[in-house]
Amino acid sequence: MKLLKRLLILFCLLLIFMLSATAFYFYSIKHMPSANEILKANTSYKNSNAFKLVVPSLVRYSAQHKMSNRYIFLVDMHIASGKNRFFVYDIQKDSIINSGLVAHGRCNKEWLEGRKYGNEVGCGCTSLGKYKVGNPYSGRFGRSYKLFGLDSTNSNAFERFVVLHPYQYVPGKEVHPAPICQSDGCPMVSPIFMNQLAKYIDSSKGPILLYIYDRT
C-alpha cells in the first residue's frame, strides 16, 4: 500500500513537471520578440564600440583557420542575462541577423552574483575566449553541439563537457530587468533559439567560430 502511494505521488509530481514545462514552452512561443524588436536590438549592438573592436579580428581568425566564411557567433557577457546577448553575425552581409538569450555559469554557487569566469575542471564557470563549434550529438537536453576551446582561457572546455545546448527554462524573449537561469558553465539557450542556431551550424561549410567575451 505504501509503495502504491509513493508511486502515485511520483506520478503526480512528474505530471505537474510535464505540464509546467509544456506551458512554459508555449508561453515562450507566444511571447517571441517581433521582427522589428529584433532588428532594433541587433542594429544597436552592431553599432556599438564592442562589436567594432572584436569583429574584424574574428573575421581574420576564422579565415586563417579555415573556419566558416559566413557566420560568427558572439556572446557579450557585459550584457545582462535577461537581455539578448548571443548574436549571429553574417560575414558576407556584414550584419547581425539573429540574437537570443544565453545563460552563463554559476561557478558552483546556488546563484552567482555579478560576473566570474574560470577554466579549471569542475569550476562550473563560464570560460571566456574563442571556441570552435563541433559536431552535434543527442544528449540529456536534446540536440547539442560540442565546443572546443581555442584559447588559454577556455582550453579545458571539452574536458569540462562545456557544450552549446538548449534548456527549456531559458525564455524565448528578453525578461530584463529579471535575470535568467544559470548553468554549470555551458552557454544554454532556449529550445527555439537552438533550433535557429542549428540551421546556421548545419548549413555552414566550415566550423563556426564562437566568441564569448566581456568588455571589462
Domain ranges of the chain: 1-30, 34-213
pLDDT digits (tens, 9 = 90+) for 76-132: 999 999 999 999 999 999 999 999 999 999 999 999 999 999 999 999 999 999 999
CA within 13 Å, CB half, 12: 6
Give the strand order in the sheet containing 129-139: 95-100, 86-90, 71-76, 209-213, 129-139, 142-149, 163-166, 188-189
pLDDT digits (tens, 9 = 90+) for 170-205: 999 999 999 999 999 999 999 999 999 999 999 999
Tell me the average pLDDT of the chain: 89
**pLDDT for res 42:** 84
Mean pLDDT over residues 38-67, rounded? 89
pTM: 0.83
Integer Cα distance of 61 and 81 in angstroms: 27
Tell me: pLDDT of 41 over 80.
Answer: no
**pLDDT for res 3:** 66
**pLDDT for res 43:** 79
CA torsion, points 123, 101, 163, 104, in degrees to nearest 10?
0
Per CATH, which fold does 34-213 belong to?
Answer: L,D-transpeptidase catalytic domain-like (2.40.440)
